[in-house]
Chain A
Amino acid sequence: DAKTTQPPSMDCAEGRAANLPCNHSTISGNEYVYWYRQIHSQGPQYIIHGLKNNETNEMASLIITEDRKSSTLILPHATLRDTAVYYCIVRAYDKIIFGKGTRLHILP
């Protein structure tokens, strides 16, 4: 089973920041937090990952709480092209166990 809990869906207005939460209270010390997204009928796209420090790249920022039991993915200026299912995953190595993710709707 997936080790994360995410809301099934969220809405965000275009141009605003989208903040997607994830709970992973049973995360182990060697497990990373990964975020992927999947736009309709495409393969999952890697977004960002982190261990315990906050991370930022050209796509998003990842905020991990100090106790590592939850995290937030931030898309700073959401566009219609960010409409997708977002998966939060914790893993140390090899296979990924996906949950159902959060379906993010960007509203024009």
Chain B
Amino acid sequence: DTGVSQDPRHKITKRGQNVTFRCDPISEHNRLYWYRQTLGQGPEFLTYFQNEAQLEKSRLLSDRFSAERPKGSFSTLEIQRTEQGDSAMYLCASSSDRAEETQYFGPGTRLLVL
């Protein structure tokens, strides 16, 4: 399968712990996006990369959140000192950087903070 993959698919953690999620984009795609989705809502944009450069961050991305894409391939999203409000589905998408680029989404990582 050559689609976007995410790991882990599910994560349960206790409040205050740190968690890290990984996203592997479609191999030829140089843009990578992170979104968050809470129950009953559409996905909300968090941040995106073009190659290894982080070009935009949403105000939803508090200082407890950090995303990296060190070699312009896979990306990680870390949440430090998790809070119950961080419980959500974290989605990754990738695309090329052509003008009509379509974003393709991964299956998501579902986080539950107890």
Contact = CB atoms under 8 A, between A and B. Distances in A.
Nearest to B107: A43
Interface residues of A, number: 22
A20 to B, nearest CB: 15
Contacts of A98: 42-44
Name the residue among A45, A85, A93 with the largest chain B CB count within 10 angstroms: A93
Given A94-B48, A96-B43, A42 B102 contact: no
Interface string A32-71: 1010100001111110010000000000000000000000
B41 A43 contact: no
Interface residues of B, number: 27
B65 interface: no
Contact of B104 (A46, A94, A100): A46
A46 B104 CA distance: 7
Interface of A: 2, 32, 34, 36, 41-46, 49, 85, 87, 93-101
Interface of B: 4, 31, 33, 35, 40-45, 48, 55-56, 89, 91, 93, 99-108, 110
